Amino acid sequence: MFNKDDINQIESRGSSVASAEAQVELFKKGFPWMKIIAPATPGKGICVLDEEEAGKAAEYYENAEIAGKCKFVPASGAASRMFKDLFSGLDKLKDGEDVAPDSPAARFVADIERFAFYDAALFGKPEDNAECRKTILSRTLTEEGLNYGAKPKGVLKFHRYPDGEVRTAFAEHLVEAQNYMRNSDGSANIVVTISPEHRQLFEDALASVKDEYEKRYGVKYNVTFTYQDKATDTIAVDKENKPFRTEDGKLLFRPAGHGALIYNLNNITEEVVSIKNIDNVANERFLPVTAKYKKVLLGKAVELRDKIFGYLRELDAVTGDSYTATPYPDIPGLNSVASDKVYQTTKCQLLCNDIENFLLSELCIQMPPADDCKSRVMKLREKLNRPIRVCGMVKNQGEPGGGPFIIAEKDGSTSLQILEGAQINKDDIQAAAALASATHFNPVDIVCCLHNYKGESFDLLKHVDQEAGFISSKSYQGRELKALELPGLWNGSMSDWNTLFVEVPLETFNPVKVVLDLLRPAHQA
């Protein structure tokens, strides 16, 4: 399949021939559909808290012992999709046509003064004519002005405050981090995934506010910029599932989607990590509600962590483990391998019953029947000893985003998962019905606990469902191709995690997918 030059190209990227071959095989066989049992809904997969319960969860977080906190912000890529409609309008105007009065381009120009990046000297006063529209669009998108069409969302000016302060999306994440992700020493750790070509833009954006914010909020920022590893790029194929080659005969590799960021997340050493996309920020007047419910999610995460750790330590105490002293010192070898007699004790079986009830009632995990007492304990230990994520879910208002579902796993158990539309077989009656009756969607507001009960970091790469990727149709210089995306960061990459869904208010979700979203109340002064 690959010649000598191909092998050199593959290995120079930090990948392997075996990995490239495995990716080609995935194109050939495709990915299996997820077997959906039901949508996760309030009372059945989604936890809905009243004010008192929310307050207790936030308090639990504030009093919890945590081995370091970190905020993880995916911020790779340019903002070109954010300005797609404006580019279309500019192309029309350049061709001598005008845009429709109700088009995004016309609405943008008419409201240009309401955007935080408006500069009278650059844009002037908006006028109702084609030449003015072309000028304003060009000075927004191209090197003639701001060049926002080629810059990442994180460094775009999102918000203007009454006192004249203007903040980028990245700056708003800094303000959020000091509020709810501050460590005991007063520091706020932030890891931002960016593209290498954008590093200087982010460095400049940080330098422009870091000293001021540290003084204003009494915080010390530790900001790390990381890149999506080129080794995680995936090979492209043609319509016959043969490696796609460029005009010079080289293999074509493409970025493998946000699922590749599991490698970046795996390098974080802190115990508790908050994940939130770069464009999901709001004016600081929304921070009280944002921070409150982020603390609620954090509280539910560490509460779940403590419950699971407690069960694992109880299992160690009952069955024996090197982690703790055994209550059965007269049984030889118990600290390494417990005897069948131990697994069959009433105490052990009652504990297993308690764990199974907890898994079902709290995490929607229905365990399959076990062959014997020992395998029952082993399966429960495996289910418990996994990374933890608590995901905020908002009521479905037609916004883009994956949804929460209860699915059947390969081992016969059930679990809570976030599924994208591409993972759902619309021709399957049960799956289609579950999709139609879904009540919530995923805003990517996630809290993770990444250490096990012995204080060690999980190897997150061992908990990825490699069969939960995507195949999409793309093009290269006018030629059709198939692209492979790795299991999504909050989809297949976190498939084998203990998951809890918690309802959060829609006010906490304020993404900027297109530039006109900046005119919504959450982004205006």
Tens digits of residue pLDDT in 169-188? 999 999 999 999 999 999 99
Domain count, the chain: 2
Q: How confident is the model at residue 472 (pLDDT cuts 50, 70, 90)?
A: confident
Please state, in angstroms and rounded to a whole number, the distance separating the CA atoms of residues 158 and 120. Answer: 17
Which tokens sit at 292?
A: 């409150």
Q: How confident is the model at residue 338 (pLDDT cuts 50, 70, 90)?
A: low
pLDDT value at position 398?
65
Last residue of a domain, one of 107, 126, 150: 150
Q: How confident is the model at residue 339 (pLDDT cuts 50, 70, 90)?
A: low
**Residue predicted with more confidence, 318 or 165:** 165
Q: Count the helices and strands in the chain (H runs, E runs).
A: 16, 19
Please state, in angstroms and rounded to a whole number, the distance separating the CA atoms of residues 416 and 45. Answer: 7
Which domain, by its residues, includes 398?
4-79+153-305+386-520
Any domain includes 203: yes
pLDDT value at position 321?
58
Cα dihedral 368, 372, 376, 378, rounded to 10, equals -130
Nearest to 40 by CA among 489, 409, 500, 429: 500
Any domain includes 341: no
Which DSSP letter does residue 266 get? H
pLDDT value at position 145?
97
Q: How confident is the model at residue 324 (pLDDT cuts 50, 70, 90)?
A: very low
Please state, in angstroms and rounded to a whole number, the distance separating the CA atoms of residues 127 and 125. Answer: 6
Q: How confident is the model at residue 81 (pLDDT cuts 50, 70, 90)?
A: confident
pLDDT at 388 over 70: yes
Query: In what helix (H) or strand (E) does residue 263 lie, and over which residues does it extend?
Result: helix 262-266
Examine the domain organization and report whether 416 and 476 are in the same domain.
Answer: yes
Mean pLDDT of the 30-44 span = 92
**Residue predicted with more confidence, 174 or 424:** 174
pLDDT value at position 335?
42
Examine the domain organization and report whether 276 and 253 are in the same domain.
Answer: yes
Which DSSP letter does residue 253 get? E
Examine the domain organization and report whether 141 and 29 are in the same domain.
Answer: no
Mean pLDDT of the 489-502 span = 95
Mean pLDDT of the 194-201 span = 95
Examine the domain organization and report whether 21 and 164 are in the same domain.
Answer: yes
Examine the domain organization and report whether 17 and 130 are in the same domain.
Answer: no
* Alpha helices per DSSP H over 269-345: 287-319, 340-343
pLDDT value at position 342?
82
Count other C-beta atoms under 10 Å from residue 181's C-beta.
Answer: 25
Tens digits of residue pLDDT in 349-382? 999 999 999 999 999 999 999 988 989 999 999 9
Examine the domain organization and report whether 300 and 435 are in the same domain.
Answer: yes
Any domain includes 328: no
Mean pLDDT of the 183-200 span = 96
Mean pLDDT taken over the chain: 92
Any domain includes 330: no
Any domain includes 17: yes
pLDDT at 322 over 50: no
pLDDT value at position 323?
40
Examine the domain organization and report whether 12 and 87 are in the same domain.
Answer: no
Examine the domain organization and report whether 408 and 440 are in the same domain.
Answer: yes
pLDDT value at position 478?
84
pTM > 0.85: yes or no: yes
Examine the domain organization and report whether 164 and 294 are in the same domain.
Answer: yes
Examine the domain organization and report whether 74 and 223 are in the same domain.
Answer: yes
Q: How confident is the model at residue 401 (pLDDT cuts 50, 70, 90)?
A: low
Q: Which residue has the tokens 């419950």?
A: 307
pLDDT at 409 over 90: yes
- Maximum distance among all Cα pairs of the chain, rounded to whole angstroms: 91
Last residue of a domain, one of 118, 150, 182: 150
Mean pLDDT of the 155-159 span = 98
Tens digits of residue pLDDT in 103-152? 999 999 999 999 999 999 999 999 999 999 999 999 999 999 999 999 99
Q: How confident is the model at residue 343 (pLDDT cuts 50, 70, 90)?
A: confident
Examine the domain organization and report whether 59 and 86 are in the same domain.
Answer: no
Q: Which of 43-57, 230-244, 269-283, 336-350 has the lowest mean pLDDT?
A: 336-350
Q: How confident is the model at residue 330 (pLDDT cuts 50, 70, 90)?
A: very low
Q: What is the CATH number of the domain that holds 55?
A: 3.90.550.10
Any domain includes 373: no
> Degrees (nearest 5) of the Cα angle 67, 48, 430?
110
Task: Catalogue the long-range contacts made by 459-462 (C-beta closer than 8 Å, 24 or more residues apart).
Answer: 459/266, 460/262, 460/265, 460/266, 460/387, 460/493, 461/262, 461/263, 461/266, 462/496
Count other C-beta atoms under 10 Å from residue 164's C-beta.
Answer: 6
Please state, in angstroms and rounded to a whole number, the distance separating the CA atoms of residues 85 and 102. Answer: 12
pLDDT value at position 293?
98
Query: In what helix (H) or strand (E) does residue 46 lie, and over which residues does it extend?
Result: strand 45-47
* Alpha helices per DSSP H over 364-454: 373-384, 429-436
Q: Which of 159-168, 220-229, 338-347, 396-405 has the lowest mean pLDDT?
A: 396-405
Examine the domain organization and report whether 489 and 432 are in the same domain.
Answer: yes
Any domain includes 343: no
Which tokens sit at 85?
A: 């409609």
Which tokens sit at 382?
A: 């495996």
Any domain includes 467: yes
> Degrees (nearest 5) of the Cα angle 467, 473, 476?
125
Last residue of a domain, one of 150, 184, 204: 150
Q: How confident is the model at residue 329 (pLDDT cuts 50, 70, 90)?
A: very low
